[in-house]
Every structure is written in structure tokens, then in C-alpha cells.
């Protein structure tokens, strides 16, 4: 059964005092962040060799203890980086899913903070009372390919019981050898999660995992909830309303649930979406600030005074966000007009080497999407969806598109251009016109889930907006958050 907690008024007042006292260090951490941000890590596709180079650099500093604690299937080193001399052990592990590196970058920002000459009193409090351990990249083989699973095809986060993967065995060994008091399980989640019943993205989501089907709240799990309440208060300052909470149904195979069960107060942190933050650098900053602040409150032990009452008040995660939501568009099908909402997502396609990506967008849903939201929303009332035409002139090379007035072409209702010579190395069109090969036929136009969203929005027969590969372009101003169009050979 669940533990029933009665929160006296005096404790609520104390809780507010604790949270208020965190403000000074949190604001200072946020304001000075650029001084500690690791400059060599700038994109989400982080590779093992990049962090190994940084670990080697920090190994020269006697403040750190660095141990190789295991290897991935392909033989990449799994290193534990430790700092501090306190009796309380705090373990942070990141990137057990290879395509979830936001917190990995934040960890190296924390390393730079720890070896700086600033915040001396706060760092002394941390390092005297805690020993903080970091496993910065648990799934380096997955990171190499920017994929969730490891080379065996196993989701490491569902391997806590069988321990078939060497990476899983390493995490279990480290947790057990430290008998860690606190654990931070650091992940990324889809950018399409929102805080329930709001249009706000779930920029950060939390969970104090359950350790049994009954979802009992032990002292250890309660401590994790207190830390989450503390961290939520911090995030609300910089991303108000943009925090979600995962469903706490017990998953017996998951590491977070089992590490909680094994006696470590476990906090799951998921980095989601933030407007205009494709590489999640603002979310990286929020990780840095909130995790360091949490470590500080653990060191001072004032988290104990926080009520868990506010934990359940954090909105649950929902998944109702689109990159682009178009509402009330008129669509003619077989001679009859219908009014549709369209939900469009820009899906990432990795380039060779998994260091960068391009977008291939899709219609994800259509119909009545009134309970869904968009990072960008356009009310298309009075606009009719029309198939984009092919520009009548054939262009020799894609580079020749520079010489064309693309907006004028779009105003003519054209969304495609034929190019005679398309290099095999060219993956996308850098201009807001989809490219067709000289013999490629344009398929019959239909708004359909799974199709690429390219069309013209006309008002009274005049093209006013274009949607090219899921990017909305205003034909009057020429403005639009455009990245790339498609090539159809």
C-alpha cells in the first residue's frame, strides 16, 4: 500500500524556505554557465572518442579519480569519473540509449565547473560531504551509430534482470560496489512530448520510479521525490510550465525501477523539446543548472525538509505535439470540400557517419486535432490546399537554383523543379523547392498520413503560403523556418 503523508503547515513553510534558499546558487549557475560549457561538444551526435579525449584531459587533475569499469561489446571503454571525499555516494549515468546525449554534454560542463576557481564555498560543501560518480556514456556503440539500442540490439534499460549486455553488467557492478545513496538516470525523450493538457513541450520530465507493482513510497523513493520537487522548482524559473512527469507503473526489467528497489534513491531525468533548440543546447544548460543544484542540496541535506506533496502536482507527460499544426484547411477530394487539421513532424534522417542529419517530413495525423498542439500552429481558415505544380523550366544543376527567385516560383503555385544533373552525393535541396529528376513523375496528390507534406495554400485562388517538406513559408514576406526540401530521383 502507499505511504500516507500528512504535511503540517510548519513543514510546508520550511519547504518553501529550502526552495527559496536554492535561488542564489541556481541563478548564479545559470548566469555564469557559458564560462563552464564544454566548447568541444556542440551537437547531439556525440561520439565516444570525443568524450575519451575530455576524460583524458581531466585525468591530469588530481581532483578526479578515473577508473575503467568495463567495455562495450565493440570494446569501447566505460569509465567511471569520481570526485569528492564524502560518505554519501551519488551516481549519475548517461546515454544508456545511444541517441540520448543531452545530459552527457551537461556532465562535461559540470566537470569544468568542478575544477574552476569559482563557487569555492559551494564546491567545498559538495566535495566534503559527497563522492559524486559519473558514467558519462554507458552505450558508446549505440552512440557511434546514433541509435537507441546497443550492438546486440538490446535496450540496456530493459536488461536489468538478465544482464546479457556487458554495458548492463557494468552499471549493475558500479551501483552495487558503491552502494550508491542517490542515482540520476539521465535520458532524452521525444521532442513531441508535452505537459499534459497544455501546449507546452515537456522540456524536462521526471520520475521517481516505483520499485514494486503497488507503487509503495519508501524512504528512499520519497527522497527521490523530494529531489524532483526541488528540481522542478528550478526548471519552472527558466521554462515555466514545461515540466512533465512519467507514469510510475512498475517495469520489472528496467534499471531505474530496480536501482530504486536495490536501495538507491533514483531520479529519472528526461530531456525533451524546447522551441528553436534543435541541438538541445538550452536543455543542456537546464540539466547543468538543475543537476548541480540538486547535488548541492543533497550535500547540505536540506532536501529532507521538502514535502513530497507537490510531486503528484507535476503534470503527466503526454505526446500531443507536432512540429507544425495546420488547422481548418479546406481540402477538395473527389469534387467535395472537407475541413481538416494536419499534424506534421519533421523526421531526422542521419547522414553517413551519423554525425549530422537532414529532414524528411511526414503527415502524422489529420482530421480533428483540436486536442493536439504545435510548436508552430497556423490557422488555415479560408485557405484551400492545392497540389504544388512543377516549374516549367528544367534546371541543369541544383546550384543553379541560386539564380532563381524561389519565392516568385512558389507564388506561381509551383513546389517542384526538375534538375537534369543531380549528384549522388547531394542528399537534399537547400532551397524551398522539392527537386525532381529529369524523368521522375509526380505522384497523384493526396493528403494522407505517412505522405510528405508539400502543397500550396491558396486564398481565393491566389497562393499565399507554401508547405515544402513540412516547412511553412509565407509567400508575402518570404519568411519561414526552412531547413531543406526533398530530392526525388
Residue 5 has pLDDT above 70, yes or no: no
Question: Confidence band (pLDDT; 50, 70, 90) for 24?
Answer: confident
User: What is the residue-averaged pLDDT of the chain?
Assistant: 95
> CA 79 to CA 176: how far, in whole Å?
16
Question: What residues does each domain of the chain span?
Answer: 9-318, 321-488
> CA 11 to CA 308: how far, in whole Å?
11
> CA 162 to CA 45: how far, in whole Å?
29
* Cβ within 8 Å of residue 178, ≥6 positions away: 89, 91, 133
Residue 390 has φ and ψ, to the nearest 5°, of -95, 130
Q: What is the largest CA-CA distance in the chain?
A: 77
Q: How far is CA 404 from CA 312, 389, 442, 479, 488, in A?
A: 56, 16, 21, 17, 20
What pLDDT does 364 receive? 98
Q: pLDDT for 223-277, tens place per residue?
A: 999 999 999 999 999 999 999 999 999 999 999 999 999 999 999 999 999 999 9
Residue 390 has pLDDT above 70, yes or no: yes
CA 324 to chain centre: 18
Single out the residue of 368, 361, 313, 337 nearest to residue 467, CA to CA: 361
Single out the residue of 353, 284, 277, 348 nearest to residue 39, CA to CA: 284
Residue 9 has pLDDT above 70, yes or no: no
What pLDDT does 74 receive? 98
Rounded mean pLDDT, 200-220: 98
> CA 486 to CA 489: how far, in whole Å?
10
**Are 264 and 183 in contact, with CB atoms under 8 Å apart?**
yes
Residue 10 has pLDDT above 80, yes or no: no
Single out the residue of 473, 322, 468, 476 nearest to residue 387, CA to CA: 468
SS3 73: coil
Label each residue of 79-108 as H, E or C: EEEEEECCCEEEEEEECCCCCCCHHHHHHH
- pLDDT > 70 fraction of the chain, expressed in percent and rounded: 95
Rounded mean pLDDT, 2-30: 57
Torsion on CA atoms 233, 257, 211, 198, rounded to nearest 10:
40
- Give me the long-range contacts of 378-381 (CB less than 8 A, separation at least 24): 378/324, 378/325, 378/326, 378/327, 378/465, 378/472, 379/327, 379/328, 380/326, 380/327, 380/328, 380/329, 380/330, 380/457, 380/465, 381/327, 381/328
> CA 435 to CA 419: how far, in whole Å?
7
pTM score, two decimals?
0.93
What pLDDT does 169 receive? 98
CATH H-level, domain 9-318: superfamily: Zn peptidases (3.40.630.10)
Single out the residue of 259, 89, 105, 295 nearest to residue 185, CA to CA: 259
Residue 97: how many CB atoms within 10 A of its CB? 21
Amino acid at each position: 500500500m502507499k505511504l500516507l503523508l500528512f504535511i503540517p503547515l510548519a513543514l510546508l513553510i520550511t519547504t518553501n524556505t529550502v526552495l527559496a534558499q536554492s535561488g542564489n546558487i541556481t541563478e548564479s549557475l545559470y548566469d555564469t554557465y557559458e564560462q563552464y560549457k564544454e566548447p568541444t561538444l556542440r551537437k547531439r551526435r556525440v561520439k565516444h572518442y570525443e568524450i575519451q579525449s575530455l576524460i583524458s584531459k581531466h585525468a591530469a587533475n588530481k581532483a578526479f579519480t578515473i577508473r575503467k569499469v568495463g567495455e562495450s561489446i565493440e570494446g569501447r571503454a566505460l569509465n567511471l569519473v569520481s570526485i569528492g571525499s564524502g560518505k554519501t555516494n551519488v551516481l549519475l549515468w548517461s546515454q544508456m540509449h545511444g541517441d540520448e546525449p543531452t545530459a552527457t554534454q551537461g556532465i562535461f560542463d559540470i566537470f569544468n565547473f568542478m575544477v574552476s576557481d569559482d563557487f569555492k564555498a559551494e564546491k567545498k560543501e559538495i566535495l566534503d560531504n559527497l563522492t559524486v560518480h559519473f558514467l558519462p556514456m554507458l552505450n558508446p556503440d549505440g552512440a557511434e551509430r546514433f541509435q537507441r539500442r546497443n550492438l546486440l540490439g538490446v535496450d540496456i534499460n530493459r536488461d536489468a534482470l538478465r544482464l546479457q549486455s556487458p554495458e548492463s553488467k557494468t552499471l549493475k557492478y558500479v551501483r552495487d560496489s558503491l552502494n550508491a545513496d542517490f542515482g540520476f538516470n539521465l535520458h532524452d525523450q521525444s521532442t513531441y512530448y508535452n505537459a499534459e493538457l497544455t501546449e507546452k513541450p515537456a522540456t524536462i520530465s521526471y520520475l521517481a520510479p516505483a520499485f514494486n507493482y503497488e507503487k509503495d513510497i519508501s524512504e528512499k523513493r520519497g527522497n527521490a521525490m523530494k529531489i524532483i520537487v526541488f528540481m522542478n522548482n528550478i526548471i519552472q524559473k527558466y521554462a515555466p510550465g514545461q515540466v512533465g512527469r512519467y507514469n510510475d507503473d512498475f517495469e520489472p526489467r528496467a534499471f531505474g525501477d530496480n536501482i530504486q528497489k536495490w536501495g538507491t534513491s533514483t531520479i529519472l531525468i528526461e530531456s525533451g523539446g524546447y522551441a528553436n533548440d534543435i541541438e538541445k543546447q538550452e536543455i543542456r544548460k537546464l540539466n547543468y543548472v538543475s543537476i548541480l543544484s540538486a547535488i548541492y542540496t543533497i550535500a547540505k541535506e536540506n532536501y529532507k525538509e521538502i514535502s513530497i506533496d507537490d510531486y503528484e502536482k507535476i503534470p503527466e507527460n503526454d505526446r500531443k505535439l507536432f512540429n507544425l499544426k495546420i488547422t481548418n484547411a479546406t481540402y477538395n477530394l473527389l469534387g467535395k470540400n472537407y475541413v481538416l487539421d494536419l499534424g506534421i513532424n519533421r523526421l531526422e534522417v542521419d547522414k553517413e557517419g551519423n554525425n549530422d542529419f537532414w529532414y524528411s517530413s511526414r503527415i502524422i495525423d489529420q482530421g480533428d486535432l483540436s486536442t493536439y498542439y504545435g510548436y508552430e500552429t497556423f490557422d488555415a481558415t479560408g485557405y484551400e490546399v492545392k497540389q504544388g505544380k512543377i516549374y516549367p523550366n528544367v534546371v541543369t544543376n541544383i546550384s543553379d537554383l541560386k539564380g532563381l527567385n524561389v519565392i516568385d516560383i512558389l507564388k506561381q503555385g509551383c513546389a517542384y523543379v526538375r534538375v537534369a544533373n543531380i549528384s549522388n552525393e547531394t542528399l537534399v535541396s537547400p532551397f524551398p523547392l522539392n527537386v525532381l529528376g529529369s524523368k521522375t513523375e509526380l505522384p497523384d496528390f493526396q493528403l494522407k498520413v505517412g505522405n510528405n507534406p508539400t502543397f500550396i495554400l491558396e486564398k481565393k485562388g491566389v497562393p499565399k503560403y507554401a508547405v515544402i517538406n513540412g516547412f511553412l513559408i509565407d509567400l508575402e514576406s518570404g519568411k519561414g523556418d526552412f531547413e531543406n526540401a526533398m530530392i526525388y530521383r
